[in-house]
Structure 1
Amino acid sequence: MEKRKVWFVTGASKGLGLTLVKELLAQGYNVVATSRKQADLIEAVGKHERFLPLEMDITSDDHVREVIAAAISHFGQIDVVVNNAGYSQIGTLEELTDEEAKRNFNVNVFGVLHVIRNVASHLRERQSGHIFNIASIGGLIGSFPAFGVYCATKFAVAGLTEALAVEMKPFGIHSTLVYPGYFRTDFLTQGSAQTAQNPIDAYVAAREVEKAHLHEINGNQPNDPQKAAELLIQVSQMENPPVHFLMGEDAYGMAQQKINTLVEEISKWKEYTISTGY
């Protein structure tokens, strides 16, 4: 029964999405994969009777609705949704134009909402399903110079997923918020990661962090996307899967550091915090 389930994966023409699609097909699942260009999906995966590649503009609620309807029409159902589409917008808050910031939110946040909004009624009718929202460790920790807007999009995904989990639970639908660390994909390569159109030289630390990500971390990430794909499938098979799920030893370490920092700072300012009551 598990292997006849239908997975709907966005951002599937490269990176973790592509690795997941290939592993799902290898394990016998039915897969709907979406990307900006259908040809990219076909070139990356090939043709397969259990594979439905669909072009989708994730920033268009109407187009997402049409694609989800086409997926359901083809396979008869959707069981697991993976909101994976997204990109990294690099640049300090002052540097990024209004257009650059909004574009990142349109893809990383509103794209997720479009998929959820248009697949929710189908999952509710079936009284089952699992939604994975792929955030980032940057959705838990925002202290990366030049990554403020990107982290903000992932913080938003974290917040809406926590709400989604309690909203969908009565219908038997699981929601999992995934916080990946650094995985060795093309996420930081040119064409995937976007840099500021109008950089400001004064932001020395931001330029150093940007350079490190694009030229030192890129290609040397410590985590294997194949293992991530296998792990996501394993989580989908759990009777009681987690709502918050960290992926990667680096993500675990950074999360622990954030927790310790929060505890220390909350405790330090406790007297001020509780002083506001009547």
Structure 2
Amino acid sequence: MLKSNYQLSVSDHNHYHPMSESHIIGNQRVWLITGGSSGFSLEVTKVVLKKGDIAVTTYRPPNIPESLAMVQASLLSSQSSNLLLLPLDLASSSPSDSQVSDVFSKAITHFGRIDVVFNNVGFTTLGEIEGIPEENARRMFDINFWGMARVSREAVKVFRDVNPEMGGGRIGGRLLNVSSRAGVVPNAGLGYYSASKQALEGFTEALVMEVDPAWNIKITILEPSAFRTHAVNSSLITFPQHPAYTSNPSLPSHFIRKWFANHNDITGDPMFAAEQIYKFSSWDEQEGEVPLRLQLGDDSWTGIRDRLKSMLKEQERVEGWSKGLVPLGKGFEF
């Protein structure tokens, strides 16, 4: 029995046909995908539908973007019920938990459960930390961190309290939080963006520790490298170079600006990443526990590996400075 706060009537939207009952067939999974108008989320929506699963994909209101309208128009009549498009504005000036819960409610009303949440929303700013107004940096955290956190909390609640039982326990669900290579390897010129992704990684890792294994909720942080998405073009906000950094062309922020200026050379295709994400979502636990992190792209895997090696080397170099300050057994060891 679904909990009463999810027994909501679906308002009349012209972009889908309300269903009176679940239309899940066989092993179909129900995906809730945020930020679906472009990039990874759009490609994941396409792959999910191609594989025969159900996609509940959100877009920023007021209008359905052309990219999603084309996906909807391409579906055969027999597939039309597999795509539900819902508005969700995590970039509004005052987003709320109720906006997020309303989307989950409508997905539950239509399909009875949610199996996978692909949590992906945000934007990028390019500029030195001194050159980006605090108002913009705070807005980035509101979306890149708090927007993702709201969706994560609601996903856990639905997986635990709303999804049906099977075999004596909840079916649980999969939460895929999209971070970035920058979530582990910060970049000059992307300081606030890197910080927002590192905040998301810390939040997600703590969430994994908190959830009860009996709830059968599996959570993974996705760490993509450079792909041809809106993060490197239309969703990129570039600020003028801070005057203090203009005189030395060897500073790293100069190189990152040149890199973004040549973003047409980026070869990473988000379609291939979406295929890998879909495959990963069905991870067979006979291979071991579901990984906490998944890098997407050779340079992400290599860059994060090298970063971890560098951190370990530095930690070993300063080990003596910590000795005896807080003895083992008397501090944070759980």
TM-score normalised by length of structure 2: 0.77
Which residue does the alignment assign to 2:13? none
Which residue does the alignment assign to 1:54? 86
- Shift of residue 66, structure 1, vs aligned partner: 1.3
The equivalent position to 1:257 in structure 2, one of 306, 309, 312, is: 306
| Pair 1:4 & 2:28 matched | yes
Q: Distance in 1 between matches of 2:278 and 2:144?
A: 22
Q: Distance in 2 between matches of 1:64 and 1:140?
A: 28
Q: Distance in 1 between matches of 2:155 and 2:291?
A: 21
The percent of aligned pairs where both chains have the same amino acid is 28
* SS of 1:177 mapped into structure 2: strand
* SS of 2:235 mapped into structure 1: coil
* SS of 1:276 mapped into structure 2: coil
1:10-159 maps to which residues of 2 (within 5 A)?
Answer: 10-37=34-61, 38-40=63-65, 42-47=68-73, 48-59=80-91, 60=95, 61-125=97-161, 126=163, 127=170, 128-142=172-186, 144-159=187-202
Q: Distance in 1 between matches of 2:142 and 2:130?
A: 19
- Shift of residue 11, structure 1, vs aligned partner: 1.0
Q: Distance in 1 between matches of 2:238 and 2:274?
A: 28
Structure 1 runs of 4+ with >4 Å offset: none
1:220-235 maps to which residues of 2 (within 5 A)?
Answer: 220-235=265-280
Whose helix proportion is higher, 1 or 2? 1
CA change 1:248–1:259 in 2 (3 A) is: same
CA change 1:53–1:213 in 2 (3 A) is: farther
The equivalent position to 2:319 in structure 1, one of 265, 270, 274, is: 270
- Shift of residue 88, structure 1, vs aligned partner: 0.9
The equivalent position to 2:281 in structure 1, one of 219, 228, 236, is: 236
Give the letter for the 1:39 counterpart.
I
Deviates more, 1:85-94 or 1:96-105: 85-94
The equivalent position to 1:200 in structure 2, one of 242, 245, 266, is: 242
- Shift of residue 207, structure 1, vs aligned partner: 5.0
Give the letter for the 2:68 counterpart.
I
Q: Which deviations, in whole Å up to 9, do the C-alpha atoms of 1:239-262 show, x marking residues without a partner?
A: 332111111110111012101211
TM-score normalised by length of structure 1: 0.92
Q: 5+ unaligned residues in a row in structure 1: which ranges?
A: none
Which residue does the alignment assign to 2:295? 246
Give the letter for the 1:181 counterpart.
S
- Shift of residue 209, structure 1, vs aligned partner: 3.3
Q: Which deviations, in whole Å up to 9, do the C-alpha atoms of 1:42-77 show, x marking residues without a partner?
A: 334224321111110125122112122112112221
Q: 5+ unaligned residues in a row in structure 2: which ranges?
A: 1-24, 74-79, 164-169, 328-334
CA change 1:42–1:261 in 2 (3 A) is: closer
Q: Distance in 1 between matches of 2:219 and 2:267?
A: 26
Q: Distance in 1 between matches of 2:104 and 2:36?
A: 15
Give the letter for the 2:277 counterpart.
L
* SS of 1:8 mapped into structure 2: strand
Q: Distance in 1 between matches of 2:132 and 2:153?
A: 29
CA change 1:2–1:80 in 2 (3 A) is: farther
Give the letter for the 1:151 counterpart.
S
Q: CA RMSD in A?
A: 1.9
Which residue does the alignment assign to 2:332? none
Give the letter for the 2:32 counterpart.
F
Rg: which structure is higher?
Answer: 2
